[in-house]
Structure 1
């Protein structure tokens, strides 16, 4: 069957791809499909409950949350012509210092050892969101994609060759629906897609911390007591020049006590647990917390449907790999869509989508198991576990080929 005949046999829908959710993952997918839209005529739409034309609230600079982007993610955003808008506001991570509080084990991962300027970058979430949002607005002005905003999907129903989507404003069809709304809409439950949930009996406590000396581009992973702590280097703000983002894994049986501390008492406990390797902690911003779980969707693909981002998998933040994994999935899905469309196959074809899932399964399994293993290894306080992990840290620091492989995997390479 030639390509033109194949195309004639594809069910005609309003859109080839409909993305549900204009968050960081959904917007990144729209950007990854731009070339296919311009060069091949792919029809893409995006649905978002919030009005994308309205300016968003920007949090106070000291309290603004940030994400760690691996070097691989930085390269992806460079490929999508987005990095030039992010680079000036991105803090390079030049070294990751991993240690065990009160023990001898230390390892250091250095960008210089890999011949690169950074292992990754820390970027404020609202900065990344605004850059992606500006791109979406440009797409709408140039009629590159269709935005349904503000609008909400109330129902999804399989139809021949795709899905029928019921919006609050209208009804449309698409060959492929990408569910990238973080699983918050209830559409997964409506479709009967469950999530396997692992409860860690831990809370993540996040806040920005001011230091009394420069962080020098060092990210700290410190295993102290019953839960690990991470400090991510941040750019300066108008109030404090030296700042880091804290991610503290707190056991549930300690959470209420720590949550109720005054700011100064919180800093005192944090300093006592972390030590003085990074600096003296002199101020803390707004503290947020959330229960830590690992979630995996029971299905990530169906005919005409892909579950993407946090809706597909949410992993422990211990190694900062969740968003980077989702971006790798996003680019793999964009490549899969391009291959199907250019071959005259429906972009919602199940066999094609299964190839995407099989391609990403190894990365998803390895990344989630790696983070899960770290949680269990570094939350144990018995002497044998402490000795084993300290010997492991020292061995990793001296086994340069092994450390390089570990570093490059963490960098998304």
Structure 2
């Protein structure tokens, strides 16, 4: 990876060096493309190792549940071994239940002859691993600078006055993607009128390498297992999605009151909640670009789609985009096609748009099902969960799909 101040044309320029954009840059460089990567944060901040975690305040609140399919991609890029050098926690089981009934579903990796269902990783650990691997790549890095404007075929203008040129620009600049806005690519979006509260907790009992998720009419609560460097298995990252008014009430509680409310909400599955880190809340809004591509531009990850966090699939959908775009651009290079070839980009969109829409629709249906509080709906919901729990083949199929091991 090199830093550059010039404006030599590149094959592909990626805007956004987060978990998705940096993975794409690494993969494209391995294919032999001339790749540039723009990232607003200085690279030295991104590769700085995290301090050892001794209490809840030492973990980053933003984590991702990385599926086996996403792990395979990161492993192929050489980054997964670096992820494993930092904090990570494989979860072997998942328990989901209805807080207003008796329905409960339990998934176990052993039933799929796997060592885990996935891995909970702090986002910064993934970015660090990718940037460490990028250091030995041919990617040209433009770090510590932001994009001022996209001028289509006339290049990308940086805030420091430089203008960069590439055959294909890829927007990996997140849910509020400025590239998407500048390009005029329309989105379909709706507000859930919910907020997600995130923090780290320490519990009296071990998390038992299990992801826990309780549903209620006002929103789901997830306890995602974490490990520190000493192997302490009493830490969890929580994502508590609640209707906006209830979320604001919870955020206004003092630490002691919130700690108690959290223990009640999770039904003391892990015993008493002993410690809680500072809380953060963000509004939940679903977006989906009507098109992922236009002339000389493609969107990946949250720039193309954002999803409710109840299933933890956001990062995995983004890595699915990376996989598909890498494969289509590898095919283009083998056929001596330009990276911005319209048919190449159309194939990428065709592969990913339907897959992402299917997952988004499924999660929306799941959310609406648990938001209904009428007695007949609750009865049907809990009966369905008990029925599903007994159908081992269907459970295995659903779990395998979520893990990305269907092929």
Q: Does TM, normalized by the shorter one, top 0.5?
A: yes
Matched, 1:246 2:238: yes
Runs of 5+ unmatched residues, structure 2: 1-7
Output the CA distance in 1 between the equivalents of 2:272 and 2:79.
Answer: 36
Within a 5 Å distance, the mapping from 1:99-178 to structure 2 comes to 99-139=97-137, 144-159=138-153, 164-167=155-158, 168-178=160-170
Output the CA distance in 1 between the equivalents of 2:82 and 2:38.
Answer: 24
Preserved contact between residue 29 and residue 35 of structure 2 (Cα < 8 Å):
no
Preserved contact between residue 13 and residue 169 of structure 2 (Cα < 8 Å):
yes
Match of 1:10 in 2: none
Residue correspondences, number: 390
Output the CA distance in 2 between the equivalents of 1:15 and 1:215.
Answer: 48
What displacement does 1:151 show? 2.8
Matched, 1:14 2:5: no
Question: Structure 1 pair 385/278, CA: closer, same or farther in 2 (3 Å)?
Answer: farther
**Higher mean C-alpha displacement, 339-348 vs 99-108:** 99-108
Runs of 5+ unmatched residues, structure 1: 1-12
The two structures have a TM-score, normalised by structure 2, of: 0.91
Match of 2:3 in 1: none
Output the CA distance in 2 between the equivalents of 1:188 and 1:69.
Answer: 26
Output the CA distance in 1 between the equivalents of 2:255 and 2:229.
Answer: 20
Preserved contact between residue 225 and residue 273 of structure 1 (Cα < 8 Å):
no
Match of 2:29 among 12, 22, 34: 34
SS in 1 for 2:44: coil
Within a 5 Å distance, the mapping from 1:2-401 to structure 2 comes to 14-37=9-32, 42-54=33-45, 61=53, 62-63=56-57, 64-65=60-61, 66-88=63-85, 89-139=87-137, 144-159=138-153, 164-167=155-158, 168-184=160-176, 186-236=178-228, 241-401=233-393
Question: Structure 1 pair 403/241, CA: closer, same or farther in 2 (3 Å)?
Answer: closer
What is the Cα-based RMSD across aligned positions, in Å?
2.0
Q: Deviations over 1:264-309 (max 9, x none)?
A: 1112112222212233211111111011110112321012110111
Output the CA distance in 2 between the equivalents of 1:235 and 1:181.
Answer: 29
Match of 1:8 in 2: none
Q: Deviations over 1:162-206 (max 9, x none)?
A: x62223342232111001111546332222223322111111111
Question: Structure 1 pair 263/306, CA: closer, same or farther in 2 (3 Å)?
Answer: same
What displacement does 1:345 show? 1.0
SS in 1 for 2:291: coil
The two structures have a TM-score, normalised by structure 1, of: 0.89
